[in-house]
Amino acid sequence: MNETLSILFVDDEEDFGEGCARWFERKGYRVAQSISGQDGIDLCGHHDFDIAILDWNMPGLSGLELVQRMRESNPDTEIIVLTGEGTIHNAVESMRLGVFDFQTKPFPMGELERRCLAAFERRKLRKENTQLREVITRSTKKTRGMIGRSTPMQKLMSLIDRVAPTEKSVLIQGESGTGKELVAAAIHTGSSRSDKPLVTVNCAALPEQLVESELFGHEKGSFTGATAMKPGLFEVADGSTLFIDEIGEMPLTLQPKLLRVLEDGSLRRIGSAKERRVDVRIVTATNRTWKKKWLRDAFAKICITEST
């Protein structure tokens, strides 16, 4: 007897549906039956079936519509389609919607039971995978990829937990190799912007003359080699977080433009008179001592050392 497996039969041929239902009930399964697509949808609204066995050709809702609506209302229910008029087109359409199996009548009941058990195994596996992903996501959000139980490390994690949910711009200071980029990623992961990718740029890896174009973008023809318009990373990161690594290498001439973005989110592409506004959270990092007071005051500061 299988007490865990519940099956819904939807078929306008009442005798066929009843015969299938009785066969499965005798085998110990929990079974419900409907003779119309709409009744089947209504039953799914009150019960979470493991398997739904549907007829493709019925009055009212078509097989395609029935599968679509069942997918919307009960996405975890595995669907098996049985039809007296099987076509390749119908089979392809049903599989595209995630149907587990598509078979033509008549179909041996023993084989149908085996297909149901296989579908049930897939349902369980999908649920287990979903639960595992949730556990991994919770674990990742909790540790954010950072490992360590030392007192300095616990203090750092606590500081990240306080800063991450805010919209405050952040300056991360520390020697090379102490994990500044990892801290930046942890801040983004713990923020309300984590559903969008973290955008990263390393000022030390760019020629000085390209930093402005990379950050703020440029218009076509604004300088030699500007053969097309290019949005800057501030625009790319709109609605997300922009991590500017090694900000100490940023040319001094760009610091006023950075301050403008920090103050009200406004910027201009190179060669453009149009002012644009972006909603970007800025996280920066440097291995230098920050000397510009007006910029230093614009950031919440996190300091990390090799002992962390």
Alpha-carbon gap, residue 95 to 87, rounded angstroms = 12
* Token pair in block for residue 225: 């080699």
Q: pLDDT tens track of the chain, all 308 residues?
A: 445 789 999 988 888 888 888 999 898 899 999 888 888 888 888 888 999 998 888 887 877 788 888 888 888 899 998 887 766 777 777 777 788 888 887 778 998 999 999 999 888 888 877 776 665 555 555 455 566 678 888 888 888 888 999 999 999 988 888 889 999 999 998 899 998 999 999 998 888 888 999 999 999 998 888 888 999 999 999 999 999 999 888 888 888 888 889 888 999 999 998 999 999 999 999 987 766 665 556 677 777 765 55
Alpha-carbon gap, residue 241 to 275, rounded angstroms = 20
**Strand 199-202 relative to strand 170-173: parallel, antiparallel, unpaired?**
unpaired
The pLDDT score that the predictor gives to residue 14 is 83
The pLDDT score that the predictor gives to residue 1 is 44
- Domains of the chain, each with CATH number or no CATH: 6-138 (3.40.50.2300), 144-303 (3.40.50.300)
The pLDDT score that the predictor gives to residue 271 is 93
Cα distances (angstroms) measured from residue 91 to each of 54, 55, 86, 122, 282: 13, 12, 7, 19, 50
The answer to whether the CB of 195 falls within 8 A of the CB of 238 is no
Q: Is 77 exposed, middle or buried (0-12, 13-18, 19+ CB in 10 A)?
A: buried
